[in-house]
Amino acid sequence: MKSSVRSLILFVLFLSSCKPLPPFHQNTMPNDSGKIAKAINKISLPSAGPANATGEALVIFQGLNPRTAVAVAAGTGKILWKQPTPNAISRYVVAGSHVVYLDRTTGLTALDVRTGKQTWSVPMRAQHTFMGVSGAPNGKVAYVTNFKPAGDPLNQVSTLTILSEGGKEIWSLEANGRMGLPLMTNTVVVVPYRNQHLVLLDTSSPRELARILIPKGEVRFMTASSDGIFFGDKRGMYRLSPDIVDVVSRAPSTMTTDIHNVEFRYALDRYDPVTTDYSAYEVRSLLATWIRGKAGAALYENRFVIHMFKYFLGFSVNEKSQATLQWAVMHPYTEELIGSKAQKDFVFYAKADGSIECLRVATGERVWRTEPLDMRMRGVTFDIAGMTPPSSSEVEAPAPLLDALTAIANDPDSRYPLAKRLAIDALAVVGGAGVGRLIKMLTNPESSAELREKAARDLIARPDPNGVPLYLSLLQQPFDFIKSTRPLAVEVMATVLGSLKTKEAVPTMLQLLAHPATSQKELVALTEALLAIGDKGIIRPFREFLLAYRADPAFAQDIHALQKMAEALFKLGGPAERQVLVFLTEDERTLPRLREYILRMFTESRKPQPAKP
C-alpha cells in the first residue's frame, strides 16, 4: 500500500514537471534561431506611408489648456478636427483608424482618426501602472501595465493586452518581471522584457513566437520602419534579423564624436513611465532614419541630427562611424519646441504655437513651415512616414556653424545649460575659430562664463603670432571710468603675449603693471608674462614696484606678484638689484613672506649645481 502511494506521488510529480510553460514565462529559453527566423518572417513591417487609415500624413497635437486632441494635415498645417480630451494622461498613439490615449477616468480611449469622435474605451486595471500603448496600422492596439504587490519591485507582474480595432480584448498575458512599452505591428507584437530580452508574440493568439536575449546590453529603444525593426540601448542599435542571435553578440551600430556632452538617445526609453506622456524627453533625442545596412542597422545617408530643446545639430558619419558636426540651428527664446521626427532627408518638428517646420538633414536649411494655430500645445504625435515637405520658396539657410555654435553658447536663455555645454565642446572640436572670433567670445559681455573660459583656453593653447596687434589692442584700452572702458582680458592676453615672447608688448604691459586699477590676478599674469619675455626693460619698473609695495599689507595675502618680481630682479638684474633684494631681506618692514622668499632664493642659488652627466 505504502509503495503504491509513493509511486502515485512520484507519478503526479513527474506529470507536473512535464507540464509545458505558460505562453509568456520568465523561464522560456531564448535564442532559438529557428523560432526567431519564423517569427521575423511573420512580422509585417509598416508600409512606407503613414500608419493611419486615411493614408494621409497626420500630426496630432495635444492642446495645453484644456487638453484637446487637434488633428492637423501635415502637408498644409490645417486643422482637420478637434476633440476635447480633458482627462488625457498619455500621449496620443495612431492605430489604423483610431487615435488612442489613456483617459484618467475612462481608461484606454479611442478617437476616430477621421472625425475625432470617441469610439470606444477600455477601463484600466486598478493598482496597475500604465507603461504605454502601441498601435498597429491594422488598428490593433497593445498596452502594458505593471503591478507591484505592496510596491515590491522584485515581485512585480507585467500584463500585456492586445485589443482589436474595435477595442475588444483579443488576449491578455501576465508575466513575472518588468515589460517595457511594446512595439506593435499588424501580426507580431515585440515586447522588451526584463531589460535584456526581446519577446515576439502573435497578435492574434497568446503565443510566444520567439525570444532573444541581448547578452551585453539592454533593449531600451525600439523603432520600426519599412526597412525593419531596430532596437538597442545607449551603446547603439541592432536591426532585428534572422541571424540576430549572432548579431547581438557583436557591438551594435553606433557613432562616436569628439564632442563631449552628446547624448545618444536613439528613441524614447521603453521602460521609463515618464515617456508614456509628453515630456521634455520629446525634445532631447537623436533624430535619424534607420535603414538596413551591411552590418545590420545603418543611418539613412549616414546622417543624424541631435535635437536638444530649441537647438538642432546636424552630423554626418564617415565609414569609421566617426560623426562630424556639420551645422547647428538655434531657435529664439520665444519659440518653444514640443516634438520632432526624422523622415529620411528631413527633420520635422512642431512648436508650442501649433506650427510645423522642416529642416533638411544634410544642410540644416529650413525648407518649410506652416502657420501657427491659435492654441498653446503641450505635445505632438507625428504620423508622417514617407512625407516630404511641399516645395517652398522660403528656404532659410542656417548661420555659419561657428556663428551658430557661438550663438548657442551665448544664448541668454538660461534654461538649457546642457545644450550650451555641448555647443562649447563643439566649438572646441570644430576648431578653426580664428583669433578674432575667440577674442570676440572672450570680450563680449554677453558671453557666458563657460564660453569665455573656453575661448581663453583656446587662445592660450594656440597663441597666434599674427594676432599680436589684436592682443595688444585689448591691453591698450584705457582705464576710464567716464567712458566705462578698461583693458580687456588682461590675464589671457598677458599669458598669450608672454608665451609668444612679444617684446613690443613690454611697454604696454609695464603701463598696466603700474596702473592702480590692475587687479591682483592681472598683476600676477603680467609679471609672469614679462618674466617670460625676459626683456631687460622690466628691471627698473619691477624694482620700483617692489620697493613701493614691499611693506603694503594689501599684498600680504596675495604676494605672488611681488615674489615673481623679486625673482625677475634676481635673474635679470645686476649688483644694484641684488642690493635692493638684500635691503628687502634686512628691513623688518618688508612683508615676511616676501623676505622668506628672497632669502630662500639666495640660499638655493648658493647650493652647488649637480654636475651634468
Partner 1 sequence: MRKFLVFMVVSWLALGISFPAAAQKAPLKNMQQADLNYLLFVIQGDNAADALAAIAELGKRKNPESLDMLQMQLLLGYPPAMSKAMIQALGARKDAKAMETLVFYTRHRSTELRVEALVSLCELDFGKDPAPVKVVNEILLKALRDYHEAVRNKAAWLLGKRRVGEAEEPLLKLFSRGSTAAMQALGFIGGIRTARTLAMAMENTKTSKEPLITTIGTLLSREDFGPEPVRVQLVKILGDTNLPGAQNVLMVYHGSGPDAFPRSRKLAFQILSK
Burial of 350 (0-12, 13-18, 19+ CB in 10 A): buried
Please identify, using beta-carbon distances, which residue of 81 and 479 lies nearer to partner 1: 479
Task: Collapse the DSSP code of 312 into the 3-class scheme (helix H, G, I; strand E, B; otherwise coil) and give the result.
Answer: strand
Pick the binder of partner 1 from 114, 128, 515, 560 (CB under 8 A).
Answer: 515
Least distance to partner 1, CB of residue 483, Å: 8
Tell me the three state secondary structure of residue 157. strand
Strand (E) positions, 90-182?
93-95, 98-103, 107-112, 118-122, 129-135, 141-147, 157-163, 169-176
Nearer to partner 1 (CB atom), residue 538 or residue 546: 546
At closest approach, how far in Å is the CB of 528 from partner 1? 18
- Identify the residue among 8, 397, 517, 576 touching partner 1 (CB under 8 A): 517
Return the number of the residue (461 or 547) whose C-beta is nearest partner 1: 547
Q: Which stretch binds partner 1 (CB under 8 A): 4-12, 115-123, 387-395, 479-487?
A: 479-487
Binder to partner 1 among 294, 589, 607, 612 (CB under 8 A)?
Answer: 589
Query: At its nearest, how many Å lie between partner 1 and the CB of residue 540?
Result: 12
- Backbone CA torsion sign across 109, 42, 288, 71: negative
User: Exposed, middle or buried by CB within 10 Å (0-12, 13-18, 19+), for 155?
Assistant: exposed
Using CB under 8 A, which of 147, 171, 281, 479 touches partner 1? 479
| Piece in contact with partner 1 (CB under 8 A), picked from 223-231, 425-433, 493-501, 512-520 | 512-520
Angle at 516 between CA 515 and CA 517, to 5 degrees: 95
Q: Which stretch binds partner 1 (CB under 8 A): 152-160, 164-172, 384-392, 474-482?
A: 474-482
| 15 vs 554 by CB, closer to partner 1 | 554
Question: Within 533-572, which residues bind partner 1 (CB under 8 A)?
Answer: 544, 546-554
Which grid coordinates belong to 448? Answer: 557666458
Contact at 8 Å (CB) between 359 and 329?
yes
Q: What does DSSP assign to residue 19?
A: S
Q: Could you give the CA distance from residue 112 to residue 2 in angstroms, rounded to a whole number?
A: 68
In 3D space, the residue among 549, 539, 609 whose CA is nearest the CA of residue 575 turns out to be 539
Interface stretch with partner 1, choices 48-56, 148-156, 216-224, 476-484 (CB under 8 A): 476-484
Q: What pairs with residue 11 in β-bridges? A: none
* Least distance CB 352 / partner 1 (angstroms): 42
Q: What does the alpha-carbon distance between residue 187 and residue 164 come to, in Å, rounded to a whole number?
A: 12
Give the bridge partners for 291, in sequence order. 298
The C-alpha cell at 95 is: 492605430
Kindly tell me which of 95 and 546 has the beta carbon lying closer to partner 1.
Answer: 546
- φ/ψ of 325, rounded to 5, equals -70, 130
In angstroms, the CA 134 to CA 92 distance is 10
* Of residues 71 and 591, the one with the C-beta less far from partner 1: 591
3-state secondary structure 253-302: ECCECCCCCCCCCCCCCCCCHHHHCCCHHHHEEEECCEEEECCEEEEHHH
Q: Could you say whether residue 482 binds partner 1 (CB under 8 A)?
A: yes
Within its chain, how far is the Cα of 302 from the centroid?
A: 19
DSSP symbols for 448-484:
-HHHHHHHHHHHHHS--GGGHHHHHHHHTS--BTTTT
Minimum Å distance from CB 81 to partner 1?
58
590 grid coordinates = 618688508
Segment near partner 1 (CB under 8 A); pick from 190-198, 240-248, 459-467, 477-485 = 477-485
Rounded to the nearest whole angstrom, what is the least distance from the CB of residue 473 to partner 1 in the complex? 19
Q: Which is nearer to partner 1, 37 or 551 (CB)?
A: 551
Q: Which is nearer to partner 1, 8 or 547 (CB)?
A: 547
514: contact with partner 1 by CB under 8 A: yes
Residue whose C-alpha is closest to residue 79's, from 64, 88, 89, 69: 69
Instruction: Rule CB under 8 A: say whether 586 interacts with partner 1.
Output: no
By C-beta, is 249 or 519 nearer to partner 1?
Answer: 519
Is 585 a residue that touches partner 1 (CB under 8 A)? no
Closer CB to partner 1, 338 or 539, in the complex: 539
Q: What secondary structure does DSSP assign to 69-94, as a single string? A: EEEEETTT--EEEEEE-TTB-S--EE
Give the footprint of partner 1 on residues 260-279 (CB under 8 A): none
Out of 294, 320, 483, 612, name the contact with partner 1 by CB under 8 A: 483
Q: Please count the other Cβ atoms lying within 10 Å of the Cβ belonging to residue 610.
A: 6
Q: Which 51-110 positions form the footprint of partner 1 (CB under 8 A)? A: none
Name the residue nearer to partner 1 (CB basis): 11 or 583. Answer: 583
Distance CA 540, CA 530 (A): 13
Question: x/- site string to partner 1, residues 313 to 352, per CB under 8 A?
Answer: ----------------------------------------
Q: How far is the CB of 558 from partner 1 (least distance, A)?
A: 12
Q: Which stretch binds partner 1 (CB under 8 A): 52-60, 80-88, 170-178, 473-481?
A: 473-481
Binds partner 1 (CB under 8 A): choice among 25, 265, 376, 486: 486
Residue 480 beta carbon to partner 1: minimum distance, rounded to whole angstroms = 5
Cell triple for 158? 507585467
Residues contacting partner 1: total by CB under 8 A: 23
Under rule CB under 8 A, residue 9 binds partner 1: no
Radius of gyration of the chain, Cα coordinates, nearest whole angstrom: 34
- Shortest separation between residue 452's beta carbon and partner 1, angstroms: 21
What ranges make up the beta strands (E) of 390-451? none
Residues that bind partner 1 (CB under 8 A): 478-483, 486, 514-517, 544, 546-554, 583, 589
